[in-house]
């Protein structure tokens, strides 16, 4: 997606603000987040305006972000600016597991295999590949204790926070020992509302993308690219789907979406 954006703006002669303005806007944003007393990671690679803008944003975050900026999901930028590479796994991880093991086992085996690979690192679990309600049916006490927290990527963030807090309390786990990483189309107003709702109830962090790396004048593109098929091992190519917490915001063929919803008992 970053390649599409890299070509789209110059080919359509859409001019952006100056480098100095990009840096100043980023400085103001990260200082506002610091005033909210929240931690922010940069998650903006996919829908960034361009590689050049991305570098300017990282430069400003590194220079002005002490006390709030904690890292970037782009390992190249992390290397260039000597900051922490930070992020979570992608929906495709669970989509592949559904192709390999079936919809009912995709979450549990996806989490188990993740732990086997990363041995405790990268401990934020993505919950909404087949809706959060289905995810929590398999996010049992072992996984709830083992993972550092969960990531919100679709649906109402406040409802999600309440659901996560209730889940941990039901497992006998103090929610303040866990973290929700919010990452769904965030800006300052959304972050402030979420922080007010969650503060003192559960740990929180924020992965902020487009509003950092593509707020430079032209309207940001709202695009998504998802895996459509997987071929596990020597098996056959198998269609995959994603069933977001946003009702009706599904990807995949109608036939496979219907099958997944039927198997997982999603209304």
Q: How far apart are the first and last CA of the chain?
A: 31
Q: Give the chain's largest Cα–Cα span.
A: 56
15 plus 142 within the same structural domain: no
Please give the Cα distance from 159 to 155 (Å, whole number). 8
On whether both 221 and 231 belong to a single domain, the answer is: no
Q: Are residues 43 and 75 in the same domain?
A: yes
pLDDT digits (tens, 9 = 90+) for 187-216: 999 999 999 999 999 999 999 999 999 999
Query: Residue 177 gets which letter from DSSP?
Result: G
Q: What local confidence, expressed as pLDDT, does residue 58 receive?
A: 98
Residues contacting residue 131 through CB under 8 Å, at least 6 positions apart:
243, 244, 245, 264, 266
Does one domain contain both 48 and 173?
no
Q: What SS3 class is residue 57?
A: helix
One domain for residues 98 and 210? no
Query: Number of structural domains, the chain?
Result: 2
The verdict on 40 and 70 lying in the same domain is yes
The reply to whether 94 and 84 lie within a common domain is: no
User: Do 205 and 175 reside in the same domain of the chain?
Assistant: no
Torsion region of 238: left, alpha or beta (phi above 0 gives left; psi -120 to 50 gives alpha): beta
Quote the pTM value. 0.93
Q: 44 and 76: one domain?
A: yes
Give pLDDT tens digits for 71-122: 999 999 999 999 999 988 899 999 999 999 999 999 999 999 999 999 988 8
Same domain, 38 and 155: no
8 and 135 in a common domain: no
Question: What local confidence, expressed as pLDDT, does residue 89 receive?
Answer: 83
Q: What value does the mean pLDDT of the chain take?
A: 95
Domain enclosing residue 195, as ranges = 1-88+183-225
Q: Which residues contact 73 (CB under 8 A, 6 or more apart)?
A: 41, 42, 43, 45, 85, 86, 87, 207
Going across the sheet that includes 203-208, the strands are 69-72, 40-42, 203-208, 179-182, 149-152, 124-126
CA–CA dist 98, 87 (Å, integer): 22
| 120 & 237 share domain | yes
């Amino acid at each position: 997606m970053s390649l599409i954006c890299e070509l789209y703006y110059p080919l359509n002669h859409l001019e952006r603000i100056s480098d100095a303005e990009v840096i100043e806007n980023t400085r103001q944003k990260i200082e506002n987040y610091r005033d909210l007393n929240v931690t922010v990671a940069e998650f903006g690679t996919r829908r960034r305006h361009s590689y050049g803008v991305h570098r300017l944003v990282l430069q400003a975050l590194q220079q002005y972000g002490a006390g709030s900026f904690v890292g970037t999901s782009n390992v190249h930028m992390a290397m260039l600016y000597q900051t922490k590479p930070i992020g979570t796994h992608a929906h495709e991880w669970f989509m592949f597991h559904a192709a390999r093991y079936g919809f009912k086992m995709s979450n549990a085996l996806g989490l188990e295999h993740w732990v086997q690979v990363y041995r405790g690192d990268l401990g934020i679990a993505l919950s909404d590949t087949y809706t959060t309600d289905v995810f929590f049916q398999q996010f049992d006490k072992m996984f709830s204790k083992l993972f550092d927290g969960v990531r919100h990527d679709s649906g109402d963030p406040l409802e999600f926070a309440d659901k996560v807090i209730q889940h941990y309390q039901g497992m006998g786990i103090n929610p303040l020992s866990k973290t929700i990483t919010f990452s769904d189309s965030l800006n300052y107003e959304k972050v402030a509302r979420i922080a007010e709702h969650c503060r003192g109830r559960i740990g929180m962090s924020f992965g902020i993308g487009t509003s950092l790396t593509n707020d430079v004048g032209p309207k940001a593109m709202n695009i998504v690219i998802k895996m459509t098929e997987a071929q596990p091992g020597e098996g056959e190519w198998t269609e995959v789907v994603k069933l977001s917490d946003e009702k009706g915001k599904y990807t995949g063929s109608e036939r496979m979406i219907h099958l997944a919803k039927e198997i997982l008992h999603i209304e």
